[in-house]
Amino acid sequence: MVFSSVNFLFAFLPALLVCYFAVPRRCRAIRNGVLLIFSLAFYACGGPKLLGLMLASIVVNYCGGRLSAPGKKCRKTCMVLTVVVNLGLLGYYKYANFFMENLFLLGLPVAIPNITLPIGVSFFTFQGMSYALDVYRGNAEAEKNPFRVALYIALFPQLVAGPIVRYTTVAGEIADRRESLSESGSGAVRFCQGLAKKMLLANALGQIADAAFGAGTLLTTSMAWLGAMAYTGQIYFDFSGYSDMAIGLGRVFGFHFLENFNYPYVSRSATEFWRRWHISLSTWFRDYVYIPLGGNRCGRRRQVRNILTVWLLTGMWHGAAWNFILWGLYYGLLLLGEKFLWGGILEKAPGVLRHLYALLLIVLGWTLFRSESLAGVGAMVAALFGSAPAGLWSGETLYYLSEFRWELLLAIPASLPVGVWVRGALERRERGGSRPASAALILGPRVLALGLFGLSVLSLLGSSFNPFIYFRF
C-alpha cells in the first residue's frame, strides 16, 4: 500500500485513527498492539506471501538483540550470525537474480531465478540490523518484549521507504509517548506537504523524465537536460515527500523520527550533498560500515578503501544493477576528489560557482541512477554533452517546458528552504509585535496544508498509477 492511494487515505488511515484513539492513552500496550496489527496489515497489502519475510526479520533481530547484549556468552558470534542472516535474506531477495544473470552473461550454465523483491526489504533489514548492532555495542538495551521490537521494525510510516529509524531514536517512545493535539496538527501539516510533493510535483516532473529517458532515437540535447533536471526534481520530491509523510504520520501517533533531508539541492559540494540527502542512510553507513572499517582515522590508502567500500555498498543498496553500482562509485570518487584533490580549490571558489558545480554533478549522478542500463547511461550522458541522436533541440522540449511550466517553476522554491526563510521573517516581525505576522505563522501552514491536500486528492483521483521510486529499494 502506498500513502498516495485511495485505500490508504480513505480506508486504512481512518480505520487506524478510530481503532488507535478509541483505546485510552493509559493502555499503551494495547495502542501499540493496534499499531502493530495495522502495520503488519499495511505490509501484507503488498502481498501477504512476503509477510513471512518481515516476521522472520523481526524474530531474527529480536533473538539477535537478546543474545548479543553485553554480558551474554558468545554474544559476538550471535551478533555476527544476526548480521549474516539479515544480509543473507537481503542478498537472496535482492541480489540473487542480478548475480545469476551476470554469471549467465559470462557464459556459465546457471538458471536465473525468478525472485520477487519484497517492498521495503532494504529499509527494514537495515533497521533490524541497526537494532542488533546497537544492542551489541551497548548503545541500546536489549528489548525483552518481542512486540516492541516488532513494532519498531514494522511501524508502518517508515516501513517501506524509510527513513531508516534507529532503535535508540524511538525506543523510549515505543514504551511511553504522548500523542497531543499540537503534535497531531504539525504532523498533519507535514503529511499534507509530503503528499503534495508527491502528487503535484514528483508525478508531473516524472512525466518529463520518463519522456526523456524513454526517447530513444528522438532524444535531443535539450530534452536530455530537461529530463535529467526533471528527474532531479522528481526523485527529491518523491522521496522527501514520502519522508515528510512518514515523519508527519509518526507525529500523529506520538513518534519523532529524525529528518531525512535537509534541502540537498542547496549543497555546494558532493560531500555536502550527502550530508543533506537521505541522511538516515548515509549516517547508517557511516556508523555501521565506515567507522568500523577505520573511518578517516587511518592512512590515506585505507581511507580511500573505506570510502570506496561505503559507496560501492551505497550504490548496491539502491538496486541490484550495474548503473547503481556505477552511481555509487561515481559518488565515491567525487568524495575522494573533494577530500584529497580539489576540495581546497572548491572551498575558495565563489558560492555561485560551488552551487553550480554541485548541481551539475548531482544532475549527472541522477542520470546514472535513472538510466536502466549501462548503454542507457552512455546514450544519456552523450546526449547531455551534445551528441544526441536527434540533434540539439526539438519541439518536444518546448512542449514539456510549456506544459509543465508551473510545476517546473514551483519546483525551484519547493526545493529551497523558502519556507524556513519566510518563517524566520515572520517570526522576527512577530517578535516586534506584528499581529498579522503572528496570524500568518499560525494560519499560513494550516491553510496551505488543507489546500495542498485538496489538490493532491484531485490529482490522486485523476491518476491511476503513482508508485514511489524508493519502494523498489
Partner 1 sequence: MKKIADIALLLCLAAVLFAVPALTLVKTAHNTVSYYENRSLTEQPELTAENFWSGEYFNDWDAWYADHVPGRTTLLALGTAIQMDIMGKTVVNDVIVTQDVLLPFLRYGTWDTGIYTDKAVPIADGLQCLSDYVEGYGGTFLFVGLPEQSNYFWDKYPHELDNRRWNATAADAAFYGALEERDVPYLDMGAVYDREGRPDEYYSSVDHHFTYYGAFAAYQAVMDELNRTGINAPVLSKSDLNFRELPNPYLGSRNRKLYDLWPNSEHAVIAEPKSPIPFTRTDNGQTVEATVYVLPATNTQRTNYDLYMGGDQAETVIETNRPDLPDVLIVGDSFTDALETLFYASFDEMRSLDLRYYTEKTLPEYLADYHPDVVLCVRDDTAFYTATGNGAVWN
| Residue 43: CB minimum distance to partner 1, A | 10
Of 219, 226, 224, the closest CA to residue 389 belongs to: 219
Is residue 85 a contact residue for partner 1 (CB under 8 A)? no
393 is a site residue for partner 1 (CB under 8 A): no
By the rule CB under 8 A, 146 interacts with partner 1: no
178 to 197: interface string for partner 1, x by CB under 8 A: ---xx-xx--xx--x-----
Task: Confirm or reject binding of residue 344 to partner 1 (CB under 8 A).
Answer: no
Positive or negative: CA dihedral 48, 198, 222, 334? negative
318 counts as catalytic: yes
- State yes or no: residue 439 binds partner 1 (CB under 8 A): yes
- Closer by beta carbon to partner 1, 252 or else 335: 252
How many other C-beta atoms are found inside a 10 Å radius of the C-beta of residue 83?
18
Does 37 engage in binding with partner 1 (CB under 8 A)?
Answer: no
**What is 123-170 written as a DSSP string?**
HHHHHHHHHHHHHHHTSSPPPS-HHHHHHHHH-GGGTTT-----HHHH
Which residues does 31 contact at the CB level (< 8 Å), separation at least 6? 20, 23, 25
CB 92 within 8 A of CB 53: no
Which position among 47, 88, 172, 436 is part of the footprint of partner 1 (CB under 8 A)? 47
- For residues 22-61, one letter each, b for 16 or more C-beta atoms within 10 angstroms of the residue's C-beta and e for the rest, the string is ebeeeeeeebbbbbbebbbbbbebbeeebbebbeebbebb
Q: How far apart are the first and last CA of the chain?
A: 15
Q: How far apart are CA 286 and CA 306, in angstroms?
A: 10
Task: Please identify which residue in 403, 416, 424, 428 interacts with partner 1, judged by CB under 8 A.
Answer: 403
Region near partner 1 per CB under 8 A, out of 12-20, 136-144, 263-271, 338-346:
12-20
Please report whether residue 48 would count as binding partner 1 according to CB under 8 A: yes
Dist CA 88 CA 376 (whole Å) = 30
Q: Which is nearer to partner 1, 108 or 181 (CB)?
A: 181
Near partner 1 by CB under 8 A: residue from 115, 406, 409, 416: 406
**Residue 228 and residue 363: Cα distance in Å, rounded?**
6
Q: Distance (Å, rounded) from C-alpha 274 to C-alpha 342?
A: 17
- Does 45 help bind partner 1 (rule: CB under 8 A)? yes
Count of residues engaged in binding partner 1, rule: CB under 8 A? 51
105 or 461: CB nearest partner 1: 461
* 201 near partner 1, judged by CB under 8 A: no
Q: Are 166 and 130 in contact (CB under 8 A)?
A: yes
Cell of 281: 542512510
13 binds partner 1 (CB under 8 A): yes
Q: Does 442 bind partner 1 (CB under 8 A)?
A: yes
Which among 70-78, 169-177, 305-313, 389-397 is the span making contact with partner 1, rule CB under 8 A? 389-397
Residue 87 contacts partner 1 per CB under 8 A: no
d(CA 113, CA 104): 11
User: Between residue 409 and residue 438, which ones bind partner 1 under the rule CB under 8 A?
Assistant: 438
Toward partner 1, which CB reaches closer, 29 or 442? 442
Complex with partner 1: residue 74 or 442, whichever CB lies closer: 442
Asked whether 5 and 199 are in contact (CB, 8 A), the reply is: no
Q: Is 55 in the site for partner 1 (CB under 8 A)?
A: no
Which residue in the set 283, 457, 471, 472 belongs to the binding site for partner 1 (CB under 8 A)? 457
Residue 399 interacting with partner 1 (CB under 8 A): yes
| Binding piece for partner 1, criterion CB under 8 A, among 1-9, 123-131, 271-279, 417-425 | 1-9
* Neighbour tally for 16: CB within 10 Å: 22
Identity of the residue, 15 or 103, whose beta carbon is nearer to partner 1 in the bound complex: 15
What secondary structure does DSSP assign to 436-455, as a single string?
A: HHHHHHHHHHHHHHHHHHHH
Distance CA 66, CA 132 (A): 8
Q: Which of 256, 278, 318, 355 is flagged as catalytic?
A: 318
Q: Report the residue number, 10 or 340, with the smaller CB distance to partner 1.
A: 10
- Kindly state the DSSP code that residue 277 receives in the 8-state scheme: S
Q: Which residues are catalytic?
A: 318
Binding interface with partner 1 (CB under 8 A): 1, 5-7, 9-11, 13-14, 17, 44-49, 181-182, 184-185, 188-189, 192, 211, 215, 217-218, 394-396, 398-399, 402-403, 406, 438-439, 442-443, 446, 449-450, 453, 455, 457-462, 464
